[in-house]
Amino acid sequence: MQPVLAFDVYGTLIDTQGVVDELERRLKTPSSAQEFSRRWREKQLEYSFRFGLMGAYVDFAECTHKALLFTDRAMQAGLSENDCDHLMSVYAELPAFSEVGAALSQLKAAGVRCVAFSNGTEEAVGGLLSKAGLTGYMDDLVSVDTIKRFKPDPAVYAYLRTRLEARPEHTWLVSSNAFDVIGAKHAGLKSAWVRRRSDAPFDPWGIEPDMTVTDLEAFAQRLLDT
């Protein structure tokens, strides 16, 4: 039976560091753009975890905005309200990683069912995929916003399986985010970790991905060769 592939979006299909060029133009110290982007992303995820644990769901864009404001304060960057509004608009149009289109095209041609599975809202993720030219490769878009929970809550992965009408052993979560991979494995799904940085460590929880690859082309090749 063909697997169903659920692709994380932010950091897996879409490059969250794609905002760095704009940060270099907006920050008083352009050389701090990489660090600002990294801290913004980390705080974005932290806020989603915290809101989830509090049972006080807000959508992912709100986590992203609050994380931007925090990073501005923490780094004393002095961004104006207009700067922040502009950076949020840039975040809504982030680019895909260079190999993603070719990898998804290969999977689609092989008849593999592919879906986008994200903490972002359907509107936000749909916009990103459309801008990146990836919409046609996806059979569905599954957003946690429907159930007002965030990854790695087990309810999110249960909702994914229900939405796809797929058995856990036939459902793959493909993500560059280790917490997402661990969450999926804990919920009984198969998982692939896209280790985009060679020095990226995996959490030592005793829960390992079924596959580790350097990018999505490597994943597509390995999956189709099995």
Do 58 and 108 share a domain, yes or no?
no
Domain at 156, CATH number: 3.40.50.1000
Residue 8 annotated among the catalytic residues of the structure: yes
Confidence (pLDDT) at 5: 98
CATH code, 82: 1.10.150.240
Domain-ending residue, one of 59, 91, 123: 91
Number of domains in the chain: 2
pTM, two decimals, is 0.96
Do residues 67 and 173 share a domain?
no
Domain range for 205 is 4-14+95-225
pLDDT at position 71 is: 98
Mapped onto helix, strand or coil, the DSSP state of residue 44 is: helix
156 and 72 both lie in a single domain: no
Say what percent of the chain tops pLDDT 70.
Answer: 100
- Residues 39 and 71: their CA atoms lie apart, in Å, by 7
* Domain stop point among 91, 111, 136: 91
Q: Is the pLDDT reported for residue 2 higher than 90? A: no
> Collapsing DSSP states into helix, strand and coil, what is residue 123?
helix
- One domain, residues 27 and 53: yes
CA angle, 134 as apex, 133 and 139 as ends, to 5°?
145
Tell me what the mean pLDDT of segment 86-106 comes to.
97
Q: Is the pLDDT of residue 1 over 80?
A: no
Sequence-ordered list of residues with C-beta below 8 angstroms from that of 97, at least 6 positions apart, any chain: 13, 14, 15, 196, 215, 216
Place of tokens 């069912």: 113
Q: Taking the CB of residue 225, how many other CB atoms lie within 10 A of it?
A: 6
Do 86 and 107 have their domain in common?
no
Task: For residue 67, give both structure tokens.
Answer: 């994380």
Q: Are residues 86 and 141 in the same domain?
A: no
- Same domain flag for 82 and 190: no
Phi, psi of 42 (to 5 degrees): -60, -40
Residue-level pLDDT at 78: 95
| Catalytic option among 8, 15, 59, 83 | 8
Q: Could you tell me if 10 and 31 lie in one domain? A: no
Please check the confidence at residue 209 and state whether its pLDDT lies above 70.
Answer: yes
